[in-house]
Amino acid sequence: MARLILQQGKERPVLRRHPWIFAGSVDHLDGRARPGDTVEVLSHDGKLLGRAAWSPESQIRARMWSFDADTSIDHAFFKRRVADCVARRMAHPHLRGQDGLRLIHGESDGLPGVIADRFGPVVVVQLTSAGADKWREAIVAGLKQATGCTAVYERSDSEVRKLEGLEPVSGLLDGELPASLSIVENGVRMEVDVVGGHKTGFYLDQRDNRLLTGQLAAGRSVLNCFCYTGGFSLQALAGGAASVLSIDSSGPALATGARNLALNPQLDASRAEWMEADVFEALRSLRAEGRTFDLIILDPPKFAPSAAHAQRASRAYRDINILGFRLLNPGGILMTYSCSGGIGQELFQSIVASSAVDAGVEARIIHRLSAAADHPIGLSVPEGEYLKGLACQVG
């Protein structure tokens, strides 16, 4: 096994159990290792710190599998760790019995570069690091054993794989996909497209926030921006919204939203309106028309994938939140989100606060919003807190 020797003084993050070792922290590699191979990690003075996956193409040169130097990284290791991840979800009262569930959440679950989502009988995996890619077979075997799923589908097609020197990969790994796939979330049935949908097929991280939306929507006029396939919209209808206008630039996503509505005959379809448009332009048009709403959801795509994009993204978040605040009725609520890793919670709140001032409204935070419990945040990996949101009431 090759040995990765850290530069003098660069062992502190590893000692604090942060799993990433950046290129600037590496002194040299003693021995030969291929992408994804396991290497021993040593401090500059020779102290063995654990074992990691080597990734020579990435600025993150290694990702820690274990901070225990005696742990063997083999098939049994991955089966145990996958089983532990699934068991933690099954022990959580809010997660047990969910049709759609994140089973593995990367670094925060001790499996860097591994994402696994379950949708009923199907598990979708996304492998974004060289180490995860190398141990694909063991990870899939662990998921099958721990879940009893009938199919495993891979969606390792994210841009981040390029940073690891990996090609995008998608396809069926085990079993057979059902002709159609749907889940029931908080009493609402939703289609899941594991082959062509965003990410793994569905945004599970917003489950709790969609439930809150339904609770806040009773009797209100609702505007759902960047609605994708209508998750927030249908929860608002289920909660008794008077009307719901859903806007997205994707016609196919809106068509799926309409199909999702049809899957739920208990919901009043006459209260739903779907609009294909650029959200920024649509909000300006709605303001020009004098339309206003009681509850507005802003859940845009990732404006800042890294801190390097933060300044440009801040302007986009500021613009969209000013438009949202200006369209609220007195007493109205703005539920606004950022899924950008390059925008921290403090910066996001500052952006929303300045947007309220520029919009000429008084606003207060009534809820802080984050990802559901199946998307844990490792205390040693604060970078895992990508989703943040605020529910702000005006007037």
The catalytic residues are: 339
Q: Which of helix, strand or coil describes residue 349? A: helix
Report which of 336, 375, 339 is spatially closest to residue 359, judged by C-alpha positions.
Answer: 336
Give the dihedral of Cα atoms 198, 305, 212, 368; nearest 10 deg. 170
Whether the CB-CB separation of 101 and 95 falls below 8 Å is answered with yes
- Give dist(CA 179, CA 103) in Å, integer: 23
Using the 8-state DSSP alphabet, how is residue 343 labeled?
A: S
CA distances in angstroms from 31 to 2, 22, 39, 63, listed in the order given: 5, 19, 9, 18
For residue 84, CA distances in Å to 19, 79, 89, 124 come to 18, 9, 9, 18
In the structure encoding, which two tokens stand for residue 256, read together?
Answer: 């799926």
166, amino acid identity: L
Tokens of 34: 């291929």
> Residue 2 in contact with residue 39, Cβ under 8 Å?
yes
32 Cβ neighbours under 8 A, 6+ residues apart: 2
Pull the structure tokens for residue 87. Answer: 């068991």
Q: Could you give the angle at which helices 251-262 and 231-238 cross, rounded to 10 degrees?
A: 30
Helix, strand, coil % over all residues of the chain, rounded to 5: 35, 30, 35
Q: Determine contact, residues 61/28, Cβ cutoff 8 Å.
A: no
Cα–Cα dist 292/296, whole Å: 10
